[in-house]
Every structure is written in C-alpha cells, then in structure tokens.
Copies of this chain bind each other. A is one copy, B any other.
Amino acid sequence: MRAIGYMKSLPIEDRQSLEDIELPDPTATDLSPNDLLIEIAAVSVNPVDTKVRVRTEPDNGHKVLGWDASGTVKATGSDVTLFKPGDDVFYAGDIGRPGTNSELHIVDERIVGRKPSNLSHRDAAALPLTSITAWELLFDGMGLREGEGDGETLLIVGGAGGVGSILIQIAKALTGLTVVATASRDDTRDWCTKMGADHIISHRENLKAQLDALGLQPRYVASLTATDQHFDALIDLIQPRGTIALIDDPAELDALKLKTKALTLHFEIDVYSAHVQHAGHDRPAPSARPNLRACRPGEDHHHREFGRRNDQRPEPS
C-alpha cells in the first residue's frame, strides 16, 4: 500500500523530510482482538504531525505520519463488538502506532466513532482531533456539563484555529456560555463570527480592557496559542475561582500565580494512547476516555452539528 511519512527526521526544507512510502498491506492476521482494519478514504493534517516528524526518529526504517482519518471497516479483530465490515468510521489515531496517512490502517475500535451520514469522508476526516480536544477541554478539563454556563463567559484565545473553531461551536450549541473569541485579522474575525462567537476581541490589544468595555469577566479561559505571552494577563482578567485550560507548549508556567484567585489550571492533550491504551490495550475506564461516549455508534448527534470543510478554515492569526 502507499503511505506518506519519512525515513529520517529532517528539516521540512529537505526534500526527503516527507516521502511516498510503499509498504506491505496489513491484513486481518495483523489485528489485535479490539482492532479494526480500515480502508482509509480521507485524512487531515494537524500541527501534531509536524511535531512528530521533528521529534520522532523512525525505529523500523520508516515512520508513517497522520492522525485524523475517515474510512470504511474492512476487517475486525476477534473481540470487536462495536463495528462490522462495511461500516463508515472516523477517528483520531494513536501516537503509539503508525499514522493514518496510508491506504490501509489499523486502529483500536474503542477510539473509533461512526462517521456521521451527512458528512463526506473528506469533511469527516477534518474533525476528530480538534473536536476531541475541544470537547475534552470544555467538558472534562473545565468541568462544564451540557446545558450549563448561563450567565458565565468563556474567553477563547486564538478562536480561529482548529480547536478554537470547534470550541466556539460546541460552547454555543451545548452550553449557555457567552463566548468571546480573540482574532486579530479581518478574515479570522469574520470566521469566529461565523462559528458563532458572541464577541470578538483582538489578542494584539489589551484583553482586559476590551473585556471591561464589554462588561464581561470570564470564568473560563481557553488559551489555545501563545500562553507564554498571555498568562499574566489571563490571570488578571479571569474571575476568582475561574479555570484556565491550555493546549500549547509554553516554555515555563508558574502555577503559584494561580493562588491569589484560587484558580484552576488544566493542561489538555490526548493522553489516551500514551497512558491508557498501550498499557496492554486494556479497556479504558470511562473516566479516562469520556469522549468515547460521543463516538459510540448511534450517538453521532454531536458530531453532526459541527461538520464543515477543512478548506474553509483560515489559518489562525
């Protein structure tokens, strides 16, 4: 089968930093009991692909990249109960296994969802990683529950990025939160408005002053980019007892700054594959993978709300 990846971790300017690779087709005999063999129809590209390429040296001659995928179940492992051959599925993959940029791919059924019937494979492949991140950040990390948040404000720093775009929509569709998104260019401001944000402010100007002008003091802050740069300002503008969640890579982050306002800080990453699944592919506790609920067959109603074409999304400013 054809795949896209690399033989050696190289700067992106190097022509061999990304290569077409020809690999043997995986077959049903390669499946662990909970695995699905997927015929991939579409993938999408995420920032994590860049990080994996830069940080991970292949250990068996090559590394296939890719995280998000949409496709069709071709074969199932002996213990699979959730899917059957022919089912259309979508999922974010697993850092511990080969990436999704290949014609065939093996994935554990427990991190797979049924593709919404009203989305093409191409549209569906754009959703999993950003949606899981936004969902877990809001409902697990920040502790919100669906239907809550009336009278409270969520500030999203970097509203026009992948996670921000989904987070605006989830927050508006499933909670009562007032959503303030930051953007600094006309097209990203327009995009955040289209996603449903109630207010747009600029992360290049004083955040607190702009919020004061709106008469809003956020209880929740999603810091999706440049947390390094904004951390002190976020602590200054947030309500006492508020929650800050971040997804990026600050060089340092002093937790003592949380104390004077009794704040909560949540670090959102997809830890399932790293910490749960590869402990012998044990079935995860519901608490360790709450988003599985949203991915179960017949429960794709949340995903249906958030479909859009990846190519409509501008770059975050």
Judge whether B264 and A264 touch: CB under 8 Å: yes
A271 neighbours in B (Cβ, 8 Å): 240-241, 260-262
Judge whether B260 and A274 touch: CB under 8 Å: yes
Partner of A275 from the list B136, B253, B261, B264 (CB cut-off 8 Å) is: B261
A152 neighbours in B (Cβ, 8 Å): 287
A289 closest partner in B (C-beta): B241
A194 at interface (Cβ–Cβ under 8 A)?
A: no
Knowing A253-B256, A267-B263, A269-B259, the reply to whether A240 touches B288 (Cβ < 8 A) is yes
- In angstroms, Cα B15 to Cα A196, docked, is 65
A265 at interface (Cβ–Cβ under 8 A)?
A: yes
A94 at interface (Cβ–Cβ under 8 A)?
A: no
Judge whether A140 and B241 touch: CB under 8 Å: yes
- In angstroms, Cα B136 to Cα A140, docked, is 18
Least CB distance, A116 to chain B, in whole angstroms: 26
Judge whether A276 and B141 touch: CB under 8 Å: no
A219 closest partner in B (C-beta): B287
Knowing A265-B265, A269-B262, the reply to whether A239 touches B288 (Cβ < 8 A) is yes
**A residues whose Cβ falls under 8 Å from a Cβ of B:** 136, 140-141, 143, 151-152, 219, 239-241, 250, 252-256, 258-272, 274-276, 285, 287-288
A263 neighbours in B (Cβ, 8 Å): 266-267
Knowing A240-B276, A276-B240, A287-B152, the reply to whether A258 touches B264 (Cβ < 8 A) is no
25 residue pairs bridging A and B, Cβ less than 8 Å apart? A140-B241, A141-B262, A143-B143, A219-B287, A239-B287, A239-B288, A240-B272, A240-B288, A241-B288, A250-B256, A255-B255, A255-B267, A259-B267, A259-B269, A260-B269, A261-B275, A262-B267, A262-B268, A262-B269, A262-B271, A264-B264, A264-B265, A264-B266, A264-B267, A265-B265
A285 neighbours in B (Cβ, 8 Å): 151, 239
- In angstroms, Cα B262 to Cα A177, docked, is 23
A269 closest partner in B (C-beta): B262
Q: A262, A264, A265: which has the most chain B beta carbons within 10 Å?
A: A262
- In angstroms, Cα B152 to Cα A276, docked, is 16
- In angstroms, Cα B152 to Cα A288, docked, is 11
Least CB distance, A241 to chain B, in whole angstroms: 6
Judge whether A255 and B265 touch: CB under 8 Å: yes
Q: A152, A241, A260, A268: which has the most chain B beta carbons within 10 Å?
A: A241
Q: A255, A263, A288: which has the most chain B beta carbons within 10 Å?
A: A255
